Structure 1
Amino acid sequence: MRPCPICGSTERREGNGRPRAGCVGCGSLERQRALAGGLADLLVPTGNGSGRVLECAPNSPMLLGNWLRDRGWHYESFDKRSFREPFHPGVFDRFVDHDADVTDMRFARTGGYELVLLQHVLEQVPDYLAGLDELARVVEPGGRAVLEIAWRRERPTTEPLAPNKHGHRWVIGADVLPELHARFASVEPRELVDEDGYKGTFFICRPG
């Protein structure tokens, strides 16, 4: 087992119903370890930007707030209280900064963040295209949005889904790619795999 790129632990435990998904040291799941290990070059301030990072729906104080602060970022996070609190009571008192929907980030100024992070959220958003509009709006010139989207590239179109226990509303298809290109000057998909075979697509999106 490779060391966790967030805390260095080599021990794993059950997480989200998967036998070795959780890191014993920091509680990260495969997707956070894939992000931290596979995209480390994008997760440090460039020195030419604001040094501000915004994360949607953080998992814990360590993930990824404290880890990013240790890397030199000025960190903020947001989530929708009415959605999150029933599952994780108290998170807004501990480590979520703003109560906001990804489709309406009125707390965030236009071009206010050098780095924006979102993982596995868009499929839960009723108007996910409005969410993409807002994500593109808040990235500063020269910055980047790192968006992990659970898409099905073999499906040509995004289709609605009856909300399940995870709150998923969409099966996102290949048409998400032109939607990203319509909002960002460059879009680079990167496929990352962790040591247990987890595979995710991270879209590196940069404004014009």
Structure 2
Amino acid sequence: MISAKHKRNRIVEPALSGAVQPDAAIVIPRKSILALTLLLAASTALAQTEEPPPVPTPAPVQEEPVPGPPPPLPDLSDPNTRSAESLSEPGPRSTIPKALRSSGTKAGGPANDLNAGSANQVPQPRKNLGNVLAGKELFHGNYCGAGQRGEGLPPTDQLDAACMRHDACYDAAGYASCACDRVLAREAAAVADQPGVTPDVRGQALSVVEAAGVLSCKTP
């Protein structure tokens, strides 16, 4: 026979021990289940309707222009390709005497024409430059230079004849005319271009051409 004290202890022991009975079940309210279902459905619908972010398009790469090859350089061995005037082919208004033009393409240049005489030729004595500039001595012949050797004397050659005509042009104009100087330069250049002229006369003719371009004169 079990006493009342023992019955009381058997009833209290399961409650004090804290053990979970195997048949016990977790009870979730029906409202919580409904709310959780609605939340999952809303998340799924939002994920289906949301569009993915656009993929950024890369900017087009601009290609830098590649420089082409440089233009070919002119052939410096050809005098006609240079910017300077060629001695062999001067322009129509060139003041270069023909004696210097034709000799530009030869070996030795203009020195060939200025020294084309034979070794037997006796060079003329050189004039005193100081006396020539002072007007005390003629440069060539009887008329090339300041004044003249004598009235009525014939010219010694074609260059001297050009100088005689230059003096007569001055006398007719009554002053040192620039037009007379241009005629003298043209006629002296023609003398220098003659093939049979001696080297001394050719050199003096070229000097007359140069001097005629720097003479003090009045226009015309």
TM-score (norm 2): 0.24
Higher helix share: 2
Larger Rg computed on CA atoms: 2
Higher relative contact order (CA 8 A, sep 6+): 1
Greater share of strand? 1
**Structure 1-normalised TM-score?**
0.25
